[in-house]
Structure 1
Amino acid sequence: MGIHSEAILNRKYMEMIKLLNIYLNHFPKFEKYALSNNIRNTAYEVYDLITECQKRYFKKTSLTSLDVTHQKLRMQIYLANELGYFAFKDGRKDTKVNPQKRFLAITKVIDEIGKIIGAWINKLKDKGNFK
């Protein structure tokens, strides 16, 4: 991945983590140390793996871990949506909040990051460096 692609990935990730932290702060108070914390930790782990992949010479294992962890994050967000946590504001259910809009906003950025990770993997496969 070139320097330009790395900058795009880093920028997209920062956009995602800012948005995610806003939404997680609104989750129900009883989820503060459960799913909310787990999502936050997984998101930070994704960032650690992005950094590791950018710096490693042999990237196959790191990229595989990044791809798997990214999918974990996607599934945790999906679970939070299914449990209705995007309908909360300041820890309380709020009928004025549009949970679907929040869910779509965060999944859009997560999907964009996933596409970048997939393109990175495919680029290495094309070069024969990812077997």
Structure 2
Amino acid sequence: MGRADPQAAIFYKAREMILLMNVHLNHFPRHEKYALCQEIRQAAYGVYSALVEGQKRYHNKTTLTRLDVQHEQLRMLLNLAFELGYFGFKDGQRKNSQSEALRRYTALSILVNELGAMIGGWIRSLRAANGVSAQHA
């Protein structure tokens, strides 16, 4: 199989994550609209942009390292939003039960984790192609 297939899958997963994330972010408290929501969006869009850059660069070790870091930043921002209780909001007001908030957060976390696994696989395949062991990376 060609190289495009795994990359098509990673782009699909990233778009799926961004679409769901934006639905949930639109319900966060109004006072977070230009704060944490914006940081989360920028982190997600940064991950998506780094995916494109990683696909297009011939030497992409630093690009993939930056992608990995941006992905982890996104994960930490979403964790913070959950700990602050923002997944329990609907239309800017606290309306959802804790179980609904957990369901929303879990659905998004699964996509973020799957994307992270795909990024990790891409990095490992690049290292294997370059003959770099995990100890030296």
Length-normalised TM-score, structure 2: 0.91
Q: Which residue of 1 aligns with 2:109?
A: 107
How far is the alpha carbon of 1:124 from its aligned partner?
A: 1.1
Residue identity matched to 1:105 = A
Listed as ranges, the gaps of 5+ residues in structure 2 are none
How far is the alpha carbon of 1:96 from its aligned partner?
A: 4.7
- Report 1:16-95 matches (<5 A): 16-95=17-96
How far is the alpha carbon of 1:125 from its aligned partner?
A: 1.1
Q: Would you say 1:13 and 2:34 are equivalent positions?
A: no
8 Å CA contact 2:18–2:44 kept in 1: the answer is yes
In the alignment of these two chains, the number of paired residues is 131
Deviating 4+ runs (over 3 angstroms): none
Residue identity matched to 1:75 = M
**Which of 115, 118, 122 is residue 116 of structure 1 equivalent to?**
118
- What percent identity do the matched residue pairs reach? 45
CA–CA separation in structure 2 for the residues paired with 1:117 and 1:67: 7
C-alpha RMSD of matched pairs (Å) = 1.4
8 Å CA contact 2:28–2:92 kept in 1: the answer is yes
